[in-house]
């Protein structure tokens, strides 16, 4: 195969912000018909590079070429006119409008007197939707679509012009496995049409599945390009962080204590039904399943954010009633929530205030909050969790994702809980921080905490858990010990496939419920 | 490192813009009219700002908590009319606590609707603006309210007397500002107000009783309104039913000018005091340079919009941007 011509080249791009060289001479090119992964830790400069490419930021030095022509990108509109399209991580759709209106937003086809040419609009849209092979039509209201289908609409936008390069920024962040397959097919289609694809993601698995080449940024500098077929995860990770990431199995060797939390037959409407499990002191219990399997809802119910319709929760053998997070906190349950920006942190508040928030009412001296006590807590967990911040005065919104997550974890550890529930501990954070957080979870268990980890990433669940509860459609399908679990039987369990092998005790005791879920 | 880039300059100007504009205004006014910087004029401005100021202190809590309070003007009319009416019926010593209790009851009602029933605060307080006005008119029968014996009551102390040479309204404003500043910045309650306004969901996940915190911000607000009503009634010893009409916007303007975000979660009592004083001095200055009283309505709002613009500009580091 002759080397296809690059559709897009960036040469020696430099972008500085006050005090920082965000991009330091980055060069990078995308060939026609290739999928080119762009990787790097958070803060490595990926977003800045894409903003330069999209005309949102002007580079201080360097040159962009489209085909053979040098161009100066001055606005997102111009980037689009040149055939450079972005599929953003955060969806920017108008929920109340139809699919067609969203796809052609800002450039609706018009008839005389500025009237919208609806026939043409719907016809054009349906043509685009056809190439995307989706199950909804042009007139569907976007707010009624699933996140995955909304993403398809976003992709549809990129197809209104004849794109030369399409940039996907973490497109699979909220997709299920089945939905990913559809997305990857669309990408393959674009590829076959000779479009150059830039694919930004933290997920190695996907990168190795669909990309041709991988370019890596580190601290604003270009650290290399690898041919996907000739490299492996270790090599990429090393380029990203200068060392490799350990994801080996990691069952505890220390002694487990008593059962700290037991849940019996817990149900919450149709979100989940008849869920039973227990977790011991010193143990990490993993919850694995597809998005929507009911894992987060179970955590929220235990934490008092939802009211169960049936079942019991026992702490240290005593049945407890939990009707609000206040109750849960009093009983020694902590929840590190799924979405750190919406649920975990007050972004405008400083690090210290965020960390002490759940117990600020207790840290008082006379009528006032004792700043000394707060700073002591912050310092303790900053050291313990290795949180990198200039100081407690820093607003958490300015920290990297990994450090933000550590603030949330520190906040809940400082409550000295009996049971710590961590929902998606490493979502959207970089590889280096990921492994730190994994180690931290293992350490907590070794110190005697009962830890529940909910995760959508299989390597993570396998890596940190002593036992794994597999969920499907609101039910516990099977419980695995770390010896019996394999990737295959875990995938089968979370896909609702009834397994043939020896059943774990949860699956055995809820065999009837399991059958019901499958019919 | 110390080189000022264009972005630095924009950020600096935008961040300090209101203070810079304020200083320029003051200098201009002082040159135009020497009286502007005379001590008695300055005291006069602070004194006449005290009533707005006291209300703004309370609204600061509500706004930081992520809500609005458009009912304060109307509620202040209510407090004023009630305390004047009761003054002659039960005597000032009883009238004042009864008026405070009734005003707090109104605040509690709003707090219940917004906090516990989670109704939109704009709608609730807009509705209450009208409803409380009706309540006031019903109480007074639509008549102006006057104290019979204006020279024979100690009730005039709060609005008209001086203590240590300083007008009492200024002392009340100052004292309340200090107490509420401590409440907001130093207590657990204050911290929880910031958390609820900054990110209500995260506050709930942290075990903060969101409804109760919102409820309490409205109690603080209504307490301030009652105090403002007391100052107003004591100063004039007689009042129309509409004495507080329109003040809700001036109060909100002062709070925004002080830099509190309408989205909640930011602002301080001190900044609100600055906002109140800026508004007061600019209005006074406009009068002293001979502009028509009505011009202040336009100028005030031009300043507010400038303030909001500069606030946004400071956040994004440029004055104008094609993207959000």
pLDDT digit string, tens, across residues B75-92 = 999 999 999 999 999 999
φ/ψ of A318, rounded to 5, equals: -100, 130
Tokens 């085909």 belong to residue: A67
Q: Closest Cα partner for B44 from B224, B238, B234, B287?
A: B287
> Which segment, B36-45, B191-200, B276-285, is predicted with the most confidence on average?
B191-200
End-to-end CA distance of chain B: 28
State the number of CA atoms in the 13 A half-sphere of A241 facing the CB: 17
User: Mean pLDDT in chain B?
Assistant: 89
> Which residues 6+ apart lie within 8 Å of A135 measured at CB?
A149
How many angstroms separate the CA atoms of A191 and A349, rounded? 45
Reported as a single tens digit per residue, the pLDDT across A375-425 is: 999 999 999 888 888 888 888 888 888 889 999 999 999 999 999 999 999
Distance from A303 to chain B by nearest Cα, in Å? 9
Residues from A contacting B (CB-CB < 8 Å) are 17-19, 56, 75-76, 303, 305, 324-326, 328-329, 335, 337, 342-349, 353, 357-358, 360-361, 363-364, 367-369, 411
> Which residues 6+ apart lie within 8 Å of A128 measured at CB?
A103, A156, A159, A160
Q: B4 and chain A: CB distance < 8 Å anywhere?
A: no
The residue extents of the domains of chain A are 6-241, 245-332+418-519, 346-416
ipTM > 0.90 (yes/no):
no
Which whole number is the average pLDDT over B288-302? 82
**CB distance B187–A325 less than 8 Å?**
no
CB A177 within 8 A of CB A290: yes
**CB distance A344–B205 less than 8 Å?**
yes
- Residue B171 within any structural domain of the chain: yes
For A56, nearest residue in chain B (alpha carbons): B323
- Confidence band (pLDDT; 50, 70, 90) for B324? very low
pLDDT at A458: 82
Domain around B280? 10-315
**CB distance B206–A305 less than 8 Å?**
no
Residue A274, both tokens: 């008849």
pLDDT at A318: 93
pLDDT at A243: 59
CB A396 within 8 A of CB A345: yes
Q: B180 and chain A: CB distance < 8 Å anywhere?
A: no
**Do the domains A245-332+418-519 and A6-241 match in fold?**
yes
For A360, nearest residue in chain B (alpha carbons): B188
| Per-residue CA distances from B144 to B74, B91, B116, B141 (Å) | 15, 19, 36, 9
- Strand segments, DSSP code E, in A284-400 are 284-289, 310-315, 318-320, 333-336, 364-365, 368-369
What's the angle, vertex CA A441, arms to CA A438 and CA A444, rounded to 5?
150
- Residue B323 within any structural domain of the chain: no
**Strand partners for A107:** none
Which whole number is the average pLDDT over B6-31? 73
Q: How crowded is residue A474: how many other Cβ atoms within 10 Å of its Cβ?
A: 23
Q: Which of A163-167, B51-55, B109-113, B124-128 has the lowest mean pLDDT?
A: A163-167
- Residue B3 within any structural domain of the chain: no
Q: Closest Cα partner for B6 from B307, B317, B320?
A: B317
For B321, nearest residue in chain A (alpha carbons): A56
pLDDT at A488: 79
- Residue B217 within any structural domain of the chain: yes
**CB distance B199–A345 less than 8 Å?**
yes
CATH number of the A245-332+418-519 domain: 3.40.50.300
For A411, nearest residue in chain B (alpha carbons): B206
| Per-residue CA distances from A126 to A80, A139, A157, B297 (Å) | 21, 9, 12, 54
pLDDT at B3: 52
CATH number of the A6-241 domain: 3.40.50.300
Distance from B211 to chain A by nearest Cα, in Å? 13
pLDDT at B315: 65
Determine the distance from the C-alpha atom of residue B297 to the mean position of all C-alpha atoms in its chain, rounded to a whole number.
Answer: 17
Q: β-strand A259-268 against A272-280: which pairing, if any?
A: antiparallel
The total number of structural domains in chain B stands at 1
pLDDT at A56: 83
DSSP, collapsed to helix, strand or coil, labels residue A70 as strand
Tokens 């019919």 belong to residue: A519
DSSP, collapsed to helix, strand or coil, labels residue B24 as helix
Q: Closest Cα partner for A388 from A344, A427, A432, A356?
A: A432
Residues of A in contact with B182 (CB under 8 A): 368
pLDDT at A519: 34
Positions in chain A whose pLDDT score sits under 50: 1-2, 499-519
pLDDT at A169: 85
Nearest to A344 among B7, B202, B207 (CB): B202
| Bigger pLDDT: A479 vs B14 | A479
- Residue B322 within any structural domain of the chain: no
CB A479 within 8 A of CB A277: yes
């Amino acid at each position: 195969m002759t080397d296809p011509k690059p559709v897009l080249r960036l040469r020696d791009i430099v972008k500085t912000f006050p005090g920082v060289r965000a991009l330091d001479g980055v060069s990078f090119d995308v060939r026609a018909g290739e999928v080119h992964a762009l990787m790097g830790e958070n803060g490595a400069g990926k977003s800045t590079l894409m903003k330069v490419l999209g005309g949102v930021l002007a580079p201080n030095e360097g040159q962009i070429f489209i085909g053979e022509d040098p161009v100066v990108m001055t606005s997102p509109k111009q980037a689009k006119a040149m055939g450079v399209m972005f599929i953003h991580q955060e969806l920017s759709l108008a929920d109340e409008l139809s699919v067609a209106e969203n796809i052609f937003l800002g450039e609706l086809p018009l008839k005389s007197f500025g009237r919208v040419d609806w026939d043409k609009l719907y016809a054009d849209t349906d043509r685009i939707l056809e190439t995307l092979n989706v199950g909804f039509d042009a007139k569907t209201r976007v707010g009624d679509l699933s996140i995955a289908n909304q993403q398809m609409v976003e992709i549809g936008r990129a197809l209104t012009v004849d794109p030369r390069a399409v940039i996907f920024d973490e497109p699979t962040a909220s997709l299920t496995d089945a939905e990913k397959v559809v997305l990857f097919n669309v990408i393959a289609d674009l590829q076959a049409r000779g479009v150059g694809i830039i694919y930004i993601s933290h997920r190695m698995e996907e990168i190795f599945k669909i990309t041709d080449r991988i370019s890596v940024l580190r601290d604003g500098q270009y650290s290399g390009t690898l041919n996907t077929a000739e490299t492996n995860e270790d090599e990429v990770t090393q380029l990203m962080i200068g060392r490799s990431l350990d994801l080996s199995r990691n069952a505890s060797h220390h002694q487990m204590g008593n059962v700290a939390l037991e849940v019996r037959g817990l149900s919450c409407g149709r979100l989940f039904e008849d869920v039973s499990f227990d977790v011991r002191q010193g143990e990490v219990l993993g919850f694995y399943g597809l998005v929507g399997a009911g894992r987060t809802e179970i955590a929220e119910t235990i934490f008092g954010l939802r009211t169960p319709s049936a079942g019991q929760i026992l702490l240290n053998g005593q049945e407890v009633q939990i009707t609000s997070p206040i109750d849960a906190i009093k009983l020694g349950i902590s929840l590190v929530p799924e979405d750190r920006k919406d649920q975990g942190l007050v972004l405008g508040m400083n690090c210290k205030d965020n960390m002490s928030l759940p117990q600020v009412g207790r840290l008082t001296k006379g009528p006032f909050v004792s700043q000394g006590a707060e700073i002591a807590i912050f310092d303790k967990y900053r050291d313990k969790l290795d949180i990198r911040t200039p100081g407690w005065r820093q607003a958490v919104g300015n920290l990297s994702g990994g450090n933000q997550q550590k603030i949330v974890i520190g906040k809940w550890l400082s409550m000295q809980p009996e049971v710590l529930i961590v929902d998606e501990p490493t979502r959207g954070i970089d590889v280096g921080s990921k492994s730190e957080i994994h180690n931290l979870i293992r350490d907590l268990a070794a110190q005697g905490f009962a830890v529940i980890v909910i995760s959508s990433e299989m390597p993570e669940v396998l890596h940190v858990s002593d036992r794994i509860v597999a969920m499907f459609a609101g039910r516990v399908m099977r419980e695995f010990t770390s010896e019996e679990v394999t990737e295959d039987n875990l995938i089968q369990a979370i896909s609702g496939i009834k397994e043939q092998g020896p059943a774990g005790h949860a699956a055995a005791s809820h065999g009837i419920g399991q059958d019901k879920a499958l019919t | 490192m110390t080189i000022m880039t264009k972005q630095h300059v924009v950020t600096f100007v935008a961040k300090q813009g209101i203070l810079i504009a304020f200083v320029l205004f003051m200098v201009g006014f002082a040159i135009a009219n020497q009286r502007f910087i005379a001590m008695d004029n300055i005291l006069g401005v602070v004194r006449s700002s005290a009533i707005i100021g006291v209300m703004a202190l309370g609204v600061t809590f509500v706004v930081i908590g992520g809500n609005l309070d458009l009912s304060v003007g109307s509620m202040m009319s209510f407090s004023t009319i009630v305390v004047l009416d009761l003054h002659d019926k039960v005597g000032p010593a009883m009238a004042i606590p009864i008026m405070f209790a009734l005003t707090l009851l109104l605040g509690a009602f709003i707090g219940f609707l917004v906090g516990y029933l989670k109704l939109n605060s704009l709608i609730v307080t807009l509705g209450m603006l009208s409803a409380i006005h009706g309540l006031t008119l019903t109480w007074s029968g639509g008549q102006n309210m006057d104290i019979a014996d204006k020279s024979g009551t100690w009730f005039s102390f709060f609005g008209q007397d001086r203590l240590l040479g300083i007008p009492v309204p200024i002392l009340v404003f100052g004292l309340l500002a200090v107490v509420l500043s401590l409440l907001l910045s130093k207590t657990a309650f204050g911290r929880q107000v910031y958390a609820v306004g900054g990110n209500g969901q995260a506050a709930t996940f942290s075990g903060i009783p969101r409804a109760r915190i919102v409820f309490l911000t409205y109690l603080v607000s209504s307490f301030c309104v009652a105090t403002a009503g007391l100052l107003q009634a004591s100063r004039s010893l007689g009042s129309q039913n509409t004495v507080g009409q329109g003040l809700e916007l001036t109060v909100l303007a002062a709070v925004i000018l002080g830099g509190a975000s309408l989205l909640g979660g930011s602002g301080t009592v001190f900044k609100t005091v600055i906002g109140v004083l800026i508004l007061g001095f600019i209005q006074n200055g406009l009068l002293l340079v001979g502009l028509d009283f009505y011009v202040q309505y336009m100028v005030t709002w031009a300043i507010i919009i400038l303030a909001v613009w500069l606030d946004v500009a400071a956040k994004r580091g440029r004055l104008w941007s094609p993207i959000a």
